[in-house]
Amino acid sequence: MLSAMNASSSLRFEGIRRRFGRLSVLEGVSGAVAPGEVLLVTGPNGSGKSTLLRCLAGLLAPESGRIEYTEQDGLLATDERRRRVGYVAPDLAFYNELTVEENLVFFARLRRVSPERSLAVVDRLGLPRDRMAGALSSGMRQRLRWAWALTHNPRLLLLDEPFQNLDASGEQGTRDLLREHLDRDGLAVVANPSAVEIDRVAGRLDLGR
């Protein structure tokens, strides 16, 4: 059984702007999400969905704007926010020469947590622990990304096309994980090309151009 969360958290961002050279990707984007809720971010390719999530994760600095993520110990600085969030993204890579279990044990050590939670997710999603990461299909790699994101029992999940390449059982399994995360007063920002049906959507942010 996944452990319960015992403290609330919240995310708010205002006026986020980000350019790459002369290309303006994000122009004054704002949103918020509270415990037990999902903020759904939609828009076509190139509209800035992935860029926004990287900014929220602390992996990319916005040129202007404010990001406020709070947990029980108050407002977190960018480096601490980066360590606390769970992040699923299509470009998240693994060590192909290591097995599924070896990858997750390695990442758990980096986070200084036990790999028990992520390995339980692997078993639940039907991903063989002894399979080499380089031999995984695209759908199996997506399941592994979910296990990695949940390693440290995060309160905030940032999900970039989280159901990409999953078959019906994989999508159902990850949707169940998201639902349980929200039931424990977690919060999530989900970016997808279109307004897919997801439980607990409290707000929608369309980055369409």
CATH number at residue 131: 3.40.50.300
pLDDT score for 194: 76
**Interacting residues of 50 by C-beta distance below 8 A, sequence separation 6+:** 89, 160, 191
207, part of any domain: no
pLDDT confidence of residue 197: 85
Indicate the helix (H) or strand (E) that contains 12: strand 10-20
- For residue 3, the model assigns a pLDDT of 40
pLDDT for the residue numbered 120: 96
What mean pLDDT is predicted for residues 158-170? 95
Number of domains in the chain: 1
Q: pLDDT tens digits, residue range 106-122? A: 999 998 999 999 999 99
Mean pLDDT of 51-62: 96
Q: Rounded mean pLDDT of 140-168?
A: 96
Residue 132 lies in a domain: yes
Average pLDDT over residues 83-89: 94
Q: Which pairing describes strands 156-160 and 187-191: parallel, antiparallel, or unpaired?
A: parallel
d(CA 48, CA 78) in angstroms, rounded, equals 20
In a domain, 171, yes or no: yes
Kind and range of the H or E run holding 20: strand 10-20
User: What pTM did the predictor assign?
Assistant: 0.91
At 107, list the tokens. 């990442």
Residue 101 domain-assigned (yes or no): yes
* 174 pLDDT above the threshold of 90: yes
Question: What are 121-135's pLDDT values in tens digits?
Answer: 999 999 999 999 999
Domain contains 75: yes
Residue 72 pLDDT: 85
Tokens representing residue 76 in the block: 């977190």
Q: What is the pLDDT of residues 181-206, one digit of tens each?
A: 999 989 999 998 777 788 899 999 99
* Any domain includes 5: no
Domain hosting residue 80, numbered range: 10-202
pLDDT number for residue 209: 62
Q: pLDDT band at residue 1, thresholds of 50, 70 and 90?
A: very low
pLDDT of residue 4: 40
pLDDT at 193: 78
Count of CB atoms within 10 A of residue 139's CB? 17
If one counts every other C-beta atom within 10 angstroms of the C-beta of residue 30, the result is 12
Task: Give the full edge-to-edge strand order of the sheet including 156-160.
Answer: 86-88, 156-160, 187-191, 38-42, 201-206
- Residue among 198, 159, 158, 207 at smallest CA distance from 9: 158
Summarised one tens digit per residue, pLDDT across range 9-50 is 999 999 999 999 999 999 999 999 999 999 999 999 899 999
Q: What is the mean pLDDT of the chain?
A: 92
Radius of gyration from C-alpha coordinates of the chain: 17
Whether 3 is in a domain gets the answer no
